[in-house]
Amino acid sequence: MLQERIPDLSKYVEPDRVRREVYTSPEIFELEMERIHEKVWIYCGHETQVPKAGDYYTVQIGRQPMIMVRGSEGKIHVLYNRCPHRGNMIAGDRKGNTGEFFRCSYHAWTFKHDGKLRSIPMMESGYAGTRINKDSPELCMKHAARVENYRGFVFASLAKDGPSLKEFLGKAIVAFDDMCDRAPEGSVEVVPTCFRVIQHSNWKIFLENQLDALHPSVTHQSTGRAAHDVEKLIEKETGKSPIAYHMLSAFATVTIDKWDNFQTINYPYGHCILTGYMGLRPQDPDTLAYDKVMIKAYGKKRFEEIVGVNIHHVLLYPGLSVQSPLQQLRAVRPLGVDKTLTEIWHFRLKGAPEPIYRRSLAYYNLVNSPSTLINADDLENFWKCHQGLSSDGGDWVSFARHMGRDLEKDGAVETAPNCGTSEAPMRNQMKAWAEYLRG
Ligand code: FES
Ligand SMILES: [Fe+2]
């Protein structure tokens, strides 16, 4: 039915441009949910969000409300948040501990952590002679078709078939390796709560912005400049410049032409890496203390390899943006064609000294939180893009920058030297999008 209403996707996507309806059509949005978000591997959360048996966290996968729950045997299950009786959501709150079982608030059916039916009040007398018997599989809470955990990061796919999580992530799996390897103990721990921002724009606008190396020195110029002024003032007064200011002033000091020095590497399934790092490996006492702990844990050679990983950002299409060197990630959850939720999480490196966590926290607050001007700068653009795309002022969105200069290498598409501001990541995302939608 839906396919009939969208007869020819090739009319919407060309290699260097896409039609505006891709962002604004409710029919296309429904098709995206069905063929992309409810099919591929979607990030549910980190295993440390549910450390004890019965701990759960609710999460949206496409249009489906889901629950990630830790079972008594230690396994993490991902279940549809729906009671098989009359459809009531089992968990009405965002997170909690359900105790030994889930109990529906409507008629008290109860379920084990793996979704299996546990009890129905007065089952014998109430259901004798009906189609309901205790062993009917339709009396269980349905679970996600597939669940996998990579180094603590839990993903679910609602489709029975498809690539494994590792195949799906491919080389972009480095996002999690880079984050975990930077911990002396080799793993990270979630900071238990996240910022949640609702953007009044299409989900793809957010993802396209993540590896858009052209925008920071324009969109964030005023924020960067203001921070730079204060940073200089503090430096003059105290002789030291606090690293937190540098996180913001870099948006002004890395000027528009310098962003071409960065590089993106584009992978199958729409994933992409932005290489280059904004000089955040300083030689201050906190960093040196961290280096010492890391060298003790890994040895000098491996330590140099780990901290030498040159990644600024990894985009895992269609729902995750990871900044591994600063232990941050943003999960993108489309709520409607013009409404998108982002969850902004950050992590502690297990075994690292506290100041390193404080630095991650500073970046989280200063660059990624809803209260920072950086985020506000972007959010304003996202909303304005969606408004413009909803108008009759034009039909196409252009992704032609540095088109034709990309280099194909080992199954990836790399931007050529001095083409860091290429729109190759957007072209790569739309290529994956069209492949998914064609089914
Ligand atoms: S709807 Fe859940 S027990 Fe009735
Ligand atoms: Fe930005």
Q: With a 6 A CB cut-off, is 88 part of the ligand 1 pocket?
A: yes
Supply the CATH number for residue 276's domain: 3.90.380.10
**Longest distance between any two alpha carbons in the chain, whole Å:** 85
For residue 236, is pLDDT > 60?
A: yes
Nearest-ligand number for the alpha carbon of 120: 1
Q: Return the structure tokens found at 138.
A: 């339709």
Question: 42 CA to middle of ligand 1, Å?
Answer: 28
Domain check: are 192 and 139 in the same one?
Answer: no
Residue 325 maps to a domain: yes
Domain check: are 291 and 434 in the same one?
Answer: yes
Q: Are 154 and 76 in contact (CB under 8 A)?
A: yes
In the predicted model, what is the mean pLDDT of residues 300-323?
94
Domain check: are 322 and 391 in the same one?
Answer: yes
Q: With a 6 A CB cut-off, is 119 part of the ligand 1 pocket?
A: no
Q: In whole angstroms, what is the distance from residue 169 CA to residue 157 CA?
A: 13
Report the nearest-CA residue for atom 3 of ligand 1. Answer: 107
Nearest one of 112, 139, 116 to 53, comparing CA atoms: 112
Q: What type of residue is 173?
A: I
Residue 320 maps to a domain: yes
Q: Are 253 and 259 in contact (CB under 8 A)?
A: no
**Residue 86 Cα: closest atom of ligand 1:** 1
Question: 120 CA to middle of ligand 1, Å?
Answer: 9
Residue 176 maps to a domain: yes
pLDDT band at 280 (very low <50, low <70, confident <90, very high): low
Domain check: are 145 and 97 in the same one?
Answer: yes
Q: Return the structure tokens found at 11.
A: 């009319």
For residue 152, is pLDDT > 50?
A: yes
What would the pLDDT profile of 318-375 be if each residue is shown by its tens digit? 999 999 999 999 999 999 999 999 999 999 999 999 999 998 998 899 889 988 889 9
Nearest one of 170, 273, 161 to 213, comparing CA atoms: 273
In the predicted model, what is the mean pLDDT of residues 383-408?
96
Nearest one of 112, 145, 139 to 39, comparing CA atoms: 145
Domain check: are 184 and 105 in the same one?
Answer: no
What residues contact residue 173 under an 8 Å CB cut-off, 6+ apart? 150, 166
Nearest one of 27, 37, 9 to 337, comparing CA atoms: 27
DSSP-assigned letter for residue 6: S
Domain check: are 280 and 138 in the same one?
Answer: no
Q: With a 6 A CB cut-off, is 83 part of the ligand 1 pocket?
A: yes
Domain check: are 100 and 205 in the same one?
Answer: no
For residue 281, is pLDDT > 70?
A: no
Residue whose pair of structure tokens reads 């498809």 in the numeric block: 162
Q: In whole angstroms, what is the distance from residue 245 CA to residue 243 CA?
A: 5
Question: 129 CA to middle of ligand 1, Å?
Answer: 20
Nearest one of 98, 91, 105 to 59, comparing CA atoms: 91
Residue 156 maps to a domain: no
Q: With a 6 A CB cut-off, is 107 part of the ligand 1 pocket?
A: yes
Residue 228 maps to a domain: no
Q: With a 6 A CB cut-off, is 104 part of the ligand 1 pocket?
A: yes
Question: 134 CA to middle of ligand 1, Å?
Answer: 15
pLDDT band at 249 (very low <50, low <70, confident <90, very high): confident
Q: Are 345 and 330 in contact (CB under 8 A)?
A: yes
Torsion of CA 362, 58, 342, 347, to 10 degrees: 20
Q: In whole angstroms, what is the distance from residue 62 CA to residue 128 CA?
A: 38
Please identify, among 150, 180, 199, the residue that sits at the C-terminal boundary of a domain.
150
What would the pLDDT profile of 80-113 be if each residue is shown by its tens digit? 999 999 999 999 999 999 999 999 999 999 999 9
Domain check: are 61 and 146 in the same one?
Answer: yes
In the predicted model, what is the mean pLDDT of residues 299-324?
94
Q: What type of residue is 109?
A: W
Report the nearest-CA residue for atom 1 of ligand 1. Answer: 86
Question: 334 CA to middle of ligand 1, Å?
Answer: 28
In the predicted model, what is the mean pLDDT of residues 126-133?
88
Domain check: are 129 and 266 in the same one?
Answer: no
Q: What mean pLDDT value characterizes the chain?
A: 93
pLDDT the model gives residue 4: 62
Nearest-ligand number for the alpha carbon of 321: 2
Residue 64 maps to a domain: yes
What would the pLDDT profile of 192-226 be if each residue is shown by its tens digit? 889 999 999 999 999 999 999 899 889 999 998 99
pLDDT band at 150 (very low <50, low <70, confident <90, very high): very high
**Residue 87 Cα: closest atom of ligand 1:** 1
pLDDT the model gives residue 353: 95
Three-state SS at 172: helix
In the predicted model, what is the mean pLDDT of residues 134-146?
92
For residue 278, is pLDDT > 60?
A: no
Domain check: are 322 and 401 in the same one?
Answer: yes
For residue 311, is pLDDT > 50?
A: yes
Domain check: are 143 and 264 in the same one?
Answer: no
Q: With a 6 A CB cut-off, is 141 part of the ligand 1 pocket?
A: no
What would the pLDDT profile of 3-62 be if each residue is shown by its tens digit? 566 667 878 999 999 999 999 999 999 999 999 999 999 999 999 999 999 999 999 999
Q: In whole angstroms, what is the distance from residue 13 CA to residue 15 CA?
A: 7
The dihedral region occupied by 115, where left means phi > 0, alpha psi between -120 and 50, and beta the remainder, is left
Domain check: are 176 and 129 in the same one?
Answer: no
Supply the CATH number for residue 144's domain: 2.102.10.10
Can you give the pTM of this predicted structure? 0.94
Query: Which residue range forms the structural domain that includes residue 427?
Result: 171-213+260-438
**What domain count does the chain have?**
2
pLDDT band at 1 (very low <50, low <70, confident <90, very high): very low
Q: In whole angstroms, what is the distance from residue 59 CA to residue 65 CA?
A: 6
Distances in Å between the alpha carbon of 36 and those of 15, 26, 39, 92, 437? 19, 15, 5, 26, 7
As a whole-number percent, the residues of the chain with pLDDT over 70 amount to 97
Residue 249 maps to a domain: no
pLDDT the model gives residue 135: 82
Residue 5 maps to a domain: no
